[in-house]
Homo-oligomer: A and B are copies of this chain.
Amino acid sequence: MKGNIVVGQSGGPTAVINSSVAGVYAAAKKLGINKVYGMVHGIEGFLKGDLCDLDEQIGDETGIELLKRTPSAFLGSCRFKMPKIEGHEDTYEKVFEIMEKYDIECLFYCGGNDSMDTVKMLSDYAAAHNKPQRFMGVPKTIDNDLPITDHCPGYGSAAKYIATSIKEIMRDNESFGFDRQTVVVVEIMGRNAGWLTAAAALAKGSDCTGVDAIYLPERTFDVDKFMDKVKETAKKKASVVIAVSEGVKIADGRYVCELANENVAVDAFGHKQMSGTAAYLCSLVAKETGLKTRAVEFSTLQRAATHLASLTDINEAFQVGFDAVLAAEDGKTGMMITLDRNGDDPYQCGTSAYDIHAIANVERTVPDEWINETGDGLNDGYEKYARPLIMGELTPIFVNGLPRHLVRK
């Protein structure tokens, strides 16, 4: 590439999205690309001309190592959806104008479903208007719901955090006996796909009995069956721990969290803001059984806990960024880098570039065959899939007792 490149981050942050930026930057350095720009707050900031120079921001190899250990979007994120082209040609022209101004040949965008739509729209516009600029998608989402790719960078680290925290919560809850029997309901992110909640299944092992039930949004939530499960388990065990997705819905289509609060807020993409499912279910349990309950929400910790990131995940996040630059150097555009699993044991994974049209706006949920018959747990198929993704650790760089992060200047 003779010109420069730009990389942006979009959508909800993850523990390893910065590792993808590090991968883009490292590949550009290797190829001798002149300038690597960063979009400050994604395409929304880019449209305002808000760019930074990654040589200044990252600098040397120590900067890359710190960046890999920095949670959330180092460059700043956005939730900006490109408008439909018709009637908004000026917005599209603005993107190309800024790219020309900074001699940017290729734009790399790290994100999930909504962000891949931005890559699709921009590459479609370029094709329709004979523009030479290229657009590449770099997958990122803790939700793990992008199609085609075996899994998404960000998921493994979130799953590792969830499974570790579930183990710790279970130990805590087991410390008291039947005299202080407590039902814990853990609420986990995932609006439509249960991938994150499924990770609760990974807690089980020879030192952990595992959670008592896992409720995914892939199955209709039945409040009565949930209550039966709690009562039945509480007869046998002093500690009851249940994982539930924030996105579970009852038969009439309403979210469980809506049963507690009818005025659920809506975000810029029209998505409802979830929260309160565990608290609501706990209140039901307490009322019906008199048992002590505790609702736990991992909240943003599950997507920001880089101190416990999976090394596999960090490396793959880096790789998809790196390989996106190699693909663009090859002349590719309108594609996303996918992770292609070649083996489970030992785990092996390669990458390829795939047409963005098959990916943007498509949501992949947990396969039916991995959910048990009673719809309240996962089977070995899921474990075989997910276990390799949480393997390995990258020791944080501790300064003054806390993990050190890289800060944008």
The interface of chain A, by Cβ under 8 A from chain B, is: 9, 13, 41, 44-45, 70-73, 76-79, 160, 163-165, 167-169, 171-177, 179-180, 184, 202-203, 205, 207-208, 265, 268, 292, 294, 296-297, 299-301, 303-308, 310, 387, 390-393, 395, 398-407
Q: Which of A76, A205, A307, A407 has the most CB of B within 10 A?
A: A307
CA distance A171 to B67 in the complex (A): 13
| Contacting pair A207 B401 (CB below 8 A) | no
Chain B positions within 8 Å of A175 at CB level: 9, 13, 72-73, 76-77
What DSSP secondary structure best describes chain A's contact surface? Answer: mixed
| Contacting pair A304 B168 (CB below 8 A) | yes
In the assembled complex, the CB of A176 is this many whole angstroms from the nearest CB of chain B, namely: 6
Can you name 26 A-B pairs with beta carbons within 8 Å? A9-B175, A13-B172, A41-B176, A41-B179, A72-B172, A72-B175, A73-B175, A78-B176, A79-B176, A164-B402, A167-B403, A168-B304, A172-B300, A172-B304, A180-B268, A202-B402, A205-B400, A205-B402, A207-B399, A207-B406, A207-B407, A294-B300, A296-B301, A387-B400, A387-B401, A395-B395
Known: A168-B307, A305-B168. Contact between A163 and B77, CB under 8 A?
A: no
In the assembled complex, the CB of A307 is this many whole angstroms from the nearest CB of chain B, namely: 6
CA distance A327 to B223 in the complex (A): 56
Chain B positions within 8 Å of A207 at CB level: 399, 404-407
In the assembled complex, the CB of A200 is this many whole angstroms from the nearest CB of chain B, namely: 12
Known: A168-B301, A173-B300. Contact between A401 and B391, CB under 8 A?
A: yes
Closest 3 CB pairs of A and B: A390-B401, A72-B171, A168-B304
Nearest neighbor of A303 in chain B, beta-carbon distance = B172
